[in-house]
Structure 1
Amino acid sequence: MRFDVEFKGSYSILFVTLSPGESILAETGALVSMTGNVNVETSTGGIFKALKRALLGGEHLFLNKFSALSKSRIAFAPRLPGDIEVVSLNGGLIVQSTSFLASDVSIDLDTKFGGFKSFFAGEGFFLLKLSGIGKAAISSFGAIYTITLDAGEKLTVDTGHIVAFDETMSYSVRTFGGIKSTLFGGEGLVCDFVGPGRIFIQTRNYPDFVSWIKSLVPKDTGSR
């Protein structure tokens, strides 16, 4: 199996080359095109985990499993305009809602309880957790860049720019510069990470972008 990403940084697309007998899991609606003889099976991947992903993690209830019966090449793309990063896993990776795109079938998808710190980070009580050994493709809004922290090394990131991070990281969420800066300074909540581990950061802030779009829409005052 081979993962290739083209048009990185803007409107990326993921190409997965499968040999006969190989399979890949992908988010529903992510398929762009495919060549070869491929069997497609839609399933929950376990009804209990699927319900948690859908109700608590904000993900789709179903996943698509693509199994190659001959040498095949499948293209996937995320919903948002942005980047795709192929991540090698050997443990756990915590991913924001909507950023999972595809993975080896060996990777387990579940939700992780993040407590109130995740709630205040704007991600709800639960985040998506990928675990196992293999490769996964995650997507972003804007380009993705990766920062690797050594043990004890610290990094602060705006919560709207976090795509994913290794489960080995510890983190805490706080307001940026106090309540005044949060309300009037254009900044919201930030997350303080402590290594070791990797953090995948997106160059654009999706919640801020949505808020900006809403500000351009004329408000209905109720008058005629």
Structure 2
Amino acid sequence: MDIELTHKPSYTHVRVTLEDGESILAEPGAMVSHSPTISIETTTSRDGLLSSAKSMLGGESLLANEFTAEGGEGIVTLAPPTPGDVHHHELDGTTLYAVDGAFLAADPSIDIDSEFGGVKSLLAGASITPLALKGTGHVFIEAFGGIERVELDAGERYTVDNDHVVAWEGTVDFDAHRVGGLKSTLLSGEGLVMDFTGPGTVWYQTRGLDAFTSAIAQALPGTGDDDNGGTGIDDFL
């Protein structure tokens, strides 16, 4: 399998070249194009992501497409639905956790399952059900905006807004909580955050999809301050 990432970091496009008989698993809608030697099978029969109802709790579809090269080398290209980057990660018998909707594609040999965020996360009101990606092979994680990498030493802590978290290594411990009470949340615009403790690596996205959609909604005619002379959608065009 040969992998090339182009148009980074704003509109990353993943080009995967498969040898005869090789396959890659991708989320529905991820495919951009493929060569004639690629066959596509939509399946729900695999373990983990595709066979477990828990995957719906993780924000992922119960369906996925498996692309296989048949009769020779084949090419398939993939891309996320929103503008942003893609992180290519190689697992070597290790675990990578990805947040809701961040999974783009992986080797079919990768075990994919949902894991609950823990009692503390649930008490904080967090619906955090990260996907656990385990095994050996290629994994592709998508982001809205650019991707930042944070390396943590043993015992070192780092906090990331929930809307910006993308993925973290299995060696990293995490917890979720809200910033202050309801009043401070409303006034500051901040809400749920995740605390990570090393050792290991954390990846976060430079834009938050929830914040972006809220900003667009406020700019639409008839919403926000548009009727009172505030910023309207025309101001963005």
Fold similarity call, TM over 0.5:
yes
- Cα–Cα, structure 1 residues 13 and 53, in superposed 2: closer, same or farther, change >3 Å? farther
Q: Does 1:124 align with 2:131?
A: no
Pair 22,47 (structure 1): closer, same or farther in 2 beyond 3 Å: closer
Alignment length (residue pairs): 219
State the one-letter code of the partner of 1:114.
Answer: G
Instruction: Give the superposition deviation at 1:33.
Output: 0.6
- The 3 A distance-change label for structure 1 pair 214 and 116 is farther
| Counterpart selection for 2:116 from 109, 113, 122 | 113
Aligned to 2:21: 21
TM-score (norm 1): 0.89
Residue correspondence of structure 1 range 23-62 to structure 2 within 5 A: 23-46=23-46, 49-50=49-50, 51-62=52-63
What fraction of aligned residue pairs are identical, expressed as a percent?
A: 42
Residue 45 of structure 1: how far off its partner (Å)? 3.6
CA deviation vs aligned residue, 1:44-98 (integer Å, no higher than 9, x gap): 1437753424432221111111111211111001111111110111311111111
The one-letter amino acid of 1:183's match is L
Secondary structure of residue in 1 paired with 2:89: strand
- Relative distance call for 1:40 and 1:57 in structure 2 (3 A) is same
Cα distance change on mapping 1:195 and 1:56 into 2, 3 Å: same
| Counterpart position of 1:135 | 138
1:66 aligns with 2:67: yes
Q: CA RMSD in A?
A: 2.2
* 2:64 maps to amino acid: L
SS at match of 2:211: helix
What is the rounded CA distance, in whole Å, between the counterparts of 1:132 and 1:164 in structure 2? 16
**Range 15-24 or range 88-97, more displaced:** 88-97
Structure 1: which 5+ runs fail to align?
A: 220-224
Is 1:181 aligned to 2:190, yes or no? no
Separation in 1, partners of 2:80, 2:126: 19
Mark the CA change 1:20 to 1:77 in structure 2 (over 3 Å): closer, same or farther. same
Give the drift of 1:174.
2.5
More strand by share: 1
Tell me the equivalent position of 2:149: 146
Aligned twin of 2:78 = 76
Return closer, same or farther for 1:15/1:117 CA change in 2, 3 Å cut-off.
farther
The residue aligned with 2:161 is 158
Q: In structure 2, what residue type is equivalent to 1:88?
A: E
1:87-133 C-alpha deviation (Å, 9 max, x unpaired): 11131111111111111111111111113544577862422121111
Shift of the 13–122 alpha-carbon distance from structure 1 to 2, 3 Å rule, reads farther
1:173 to 1:27, Cα distance in 2 relative to 1, 3 A: same
CA contact (8 A) 1:53 1:59 kept: no
CA contact (8 A) 1:27 1:102 kept: yes
Equivalent residue number for residue 233 of structure 2 = none
Alpha carbons 1:110, 1:129 under 8 Å: kept = yes
CA contact (8 A) 1:118 1:126 kept: no
- The answer to whether the Cα contact below 8 Å between 1:30 and 1:79 also exists between their aligned partners in 2 is yes
Under a length normalisation based on structure 2, what TM-score does the superposition of the two structures give? 0.84
Distance 2:124 2:36 in 1: 43
Residue-by-residue CA offset, 1:164-218 (whole Å, 9 max, x unaligned): 1112111122333x23532212222221111111111100011111222222342
Alignment-derived partner of residue 88 in structure 1: 90
List alignment gaps of at least 5 residues for structure 2: 224-237
Residues 48 and 114, structure 2, Cα contact 8 Å, conserved in 1: no
Name the CA distance, whole Å, in 2 between partners of 1:103 and 1:47: 14
Going from structure 1 to structure 2, the CA distance change for 1:84 and 1:125 (only over 3 Å counts) comes to: closer
Q: Distance in 1 between matches of 2:124 and 2:90?
A: 26
Residue 106 of structure 1 aligns to a residue whose secondary structure is: coil
- SS at 2:215 equivalent: helix
